């Protein structure tokens, strides 16, 4: 009995210790939970204080230029650079492909031959201008001089006519006197009062004076005809002067022909230049250094102007386009520091805001939103912000357009 009593006395303290242990454990848990909550609040406060200095978006991607190459002429592909394959790197100035040049070589030869012809025609027309000027004005002077000579000939003929008319008058007087003497001596010879020989002399004299009168009358007629001829010649010279007075017009025509020939020469030179350009277009070179992508051209293909053959993506000229909500732009401006996190490499890059968008993205779409219908729903718009990586951030050019990124701009 005494052993049983001892056992009961020792088990009572153990029960009290068991009741105290849960109370202590519960208090410890509450203390730990309170500490965790306090740490979380402090961490949240610290994060909030830190985050208010940054504007962050995950709607960002690496962007770049795309050099889509096409031909400016039609032709058949006769050469494709073996190194020009998708995902291969090419340097600026590398010959990518070539078209059959024979048709364009023939066009160039034809254009050069036409140019030589036009040059000869232009030279002839240019030389003809001073000749036309000199000839036209000299003809006018010659015609004027010829008219003056014809006018003087008319005056001379008129003087000759007047002289002939005076001789005719004198001859008429002499012939009248000789005829009267002949008639008077005829009566005397019939009466045998004068000798027959004396009468014959008087009769011969009368006949001679009559002949002289007739000759002088013929001279008057000839002088009148000569005057008419000289006057006709004056009229002819007037016509020549009228024709020669068109000298300025003929000279202007010569200059116009020279100008027209020069214009045709310039056109022929332009045709040669165009033919040279078309021939040069048969070879397509890489405009920039980059990576080949979307290659569709193969040897023997018939290509047309404007047909895209391949694309060269430069990797040394890239930027980040980050689409921020309009509510995030209040403190943002070009020149602010940016941290870019690229998902592909899981690393951060230092960058700077290069410029801000002129308008929200939807306004540049093919069908911009139209709110005039009355069914307006306010939506927070996003504005693309262009961000440029700092120098030497991507020396190996590992970043590619299209890679996803997160942009965090330090605004405070």
Question: How is the chain split into domains, by residue range?
Answer: 105-271
Burial of residue 207 (CB within 10 Å: 0-12, 13-18, 19+) is middle
The span from the CA of 407 to the CA of 114, in Å, is 63
Q: Is the predicted pLDDT of residue 50 greater than 60, yes or no?
A: no
Q: Classify domain 105-271 by CATH architecture.
A: Orthogonal Bundle (1.10)
E strand or H helix that includes residue 312: strand 308-313
Q: Is the predicted pLDDT of residue 19 greater than 70, yes or no?
A: no
Looking up tokens 């040897």, which residue turns up?
299
Which of 125-139, 217-231, 236-250, 392-406 tops mean pLDDT?
Answer: 392-406
The span from the CA of 310 to the CA of 70, in Å, is 7
pTM of the model: 0.59
* Rounded alpha-carbon distances, angstroms, from residue 157 to 22, 154, 228, 229, 282: 165, 5, 9, 10, 83
Kindly give the pairing relationship between strand 67-70 and strand 308-313.
Answer: antiparallel
Among 49-63, 110-124, 160-174, 389-403, the least confident range: 160-174
Q: Is the predicted pLDDT of residue 51 greater than 60, yes or no?
A: no
pLDDT digits (tens, 9 = 90+) for 132-174: 666 666 666 666 777 777 777 777 777 777 777 777 777 677 7
Residue range 297-323: mean pLDDT, rounded? 92
Q: Is the predicted pLDDT of residue 63 greater than 70, yes or no?
A: yes
CA-only gyration radius of the chain, Å? 61
- At residue 45, the pLDDT reads 67
For 201-208, the CB contacts below 8 A with 24+ separation are 202/178, 205/178, 205/181, 206/175, 206/178, 206/179, 206/181, 206/182, 208/178
Kindly give the pairing relationship between strand 302-303 and strand 290-293.
Answer: unpaired
Burial of residue 284 (CB within 10 Å: 0-12, 13-18, 19+) is buried
Is residue 61 within 8 A of residue 405, CB to CB? The reply is yes
Q: In sequence order, what are the beta bridge partners of 408?
A: 56, 339
Looking up tokens 């040049």, which residue turns up?
101
Higher pLDDT residue, 45 or 328? 328
């Amino acid at each position: 009995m005494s052993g049983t009593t001892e056992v009961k006395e020792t088990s009572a303290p153990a029960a009290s210790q068991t009741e105290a242990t849960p109370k202590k454990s519960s208090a410890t848990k509450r203390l730990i939970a309170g500490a965790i909550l306090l740490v979380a609040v402090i961490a949240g406060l610290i994060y909030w204080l830190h985050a208010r200095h940054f504007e962050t978006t995950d709607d960002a991607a690496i962007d770049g230029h795309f050099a889509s190459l096409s031909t400016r002429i039609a032709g058949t592909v006769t050469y494709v650079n073996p190194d020009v394959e998708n995902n291969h790197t090419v340097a600026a100035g590398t010959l990518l492909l070539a078209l059959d040049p024979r048709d364009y070589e023939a066009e160039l030869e034809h254009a050069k031959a036409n140019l030589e012809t036009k040059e000869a025609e232009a030279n002839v027309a240019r030389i003809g201008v001073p000749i036309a000027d000199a000839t036209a004005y000299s003809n006018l002077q010659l015609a004027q001089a010829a008219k003056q000579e014809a006018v003087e000939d008319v005056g001379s003929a008129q003087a000759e006519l007047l002289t002939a008319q005076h001789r005719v008058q004198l001859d008429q007087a002499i012939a009248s006197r000789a005829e009267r003497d002949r008639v008077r001596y005829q009566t005397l010879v019939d009466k045998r009062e004068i000798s027959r020989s004396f009468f014959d002399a008087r009769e011969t004299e009368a006949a001679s004076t009559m002949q002289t009168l007739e000759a002088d009358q013929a001279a008057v007629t000839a002088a009148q005809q000569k005057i008419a001829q000289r006057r006709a010649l004056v009229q002819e010279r007037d016509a020549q002067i009228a024709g020669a007075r068109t000298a300025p017009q003929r000279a202007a025509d010569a200059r116009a022909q020279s100008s027209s020939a020069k214009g045709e020469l310039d056109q022929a030179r332009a045709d040669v230049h165009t033919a040279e350009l078309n021939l040069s277009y048969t070879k397509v070179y890489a405009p920039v250094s980059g990576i080949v992508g979307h290659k569709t051209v193969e040897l023997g293909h018939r290509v047309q102007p404007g047909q895209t053959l391949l694309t060269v993506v430069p990797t040394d000229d890239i930027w980040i386009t980050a689409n921020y909500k309009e509510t995030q732009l209040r403190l943002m401006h070009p020149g602010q520091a940016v941290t870019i996190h690229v998902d592909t490499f899981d690393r951060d890059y230092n960058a700077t805001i290069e410029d801000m968008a002129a308008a929200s993205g939807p306004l540049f779409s093919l069908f911009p939103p139209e709110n005039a219908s009355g069914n307006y729903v306010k939506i927070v718009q996003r504005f693309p912000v262009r961000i440029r990586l700092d120098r030497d951030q991507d020396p190996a050019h590992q970043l590619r357009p299209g890679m996803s990124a997160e942009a965090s701009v330090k605004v405070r």
